[in-house]
Amino acid sequence: MYEDKTLTCRDCGAEFVFTAGEQEFYAEKGFENEPTRCKECRAARKQAARGPREMHTAICADCGKEAQVPFEPRDDRPVYCSDCFANHR
């Protein structure tokens, strides 16, 4: 029913594909308008609206390396670096 469409980003002017799957998703959610920005411009706009993220330094509970985390570490909960966190999942 849906076919891929090539659209032009209104911010950067790059062409991007609005896939059949994305169109189906939009229809399921009741969205009536097609996207006007490419994925990169949508992500940049979202990040700009959110503002910069404050990072905190912590020591990994497993390997002891210094890690940057987006929350204030507490003494009652272990904090892991990204490598050790992936191993705990």
47-73: pLDDT as tens digits:
888 878 899 999 999 999 999 999 999
Q: Are 73 and 54 in contact (CB under 8 A)?
A: no
> In angstroms, how far is the first alpha carbon of the chain from the final one?
39
Q: Are 17 and 5 in contact (CB under 8 A)?
A: yes
Give the separation between CA 87 and CA 11, rounded to whole angstroms. Answer: 39
pTM over 0.85: no
User: In sequence order, what are the residues at sequence separation of 6 or more whose Cβ sits closer than 8 angstroms to the Cβ of residue 21?
Assistant: 2
Give the separation between CA 60 and CA 74, rounded to whole angstroms. Answer: 12
Mean pLDDT of the 15-39 span: 97
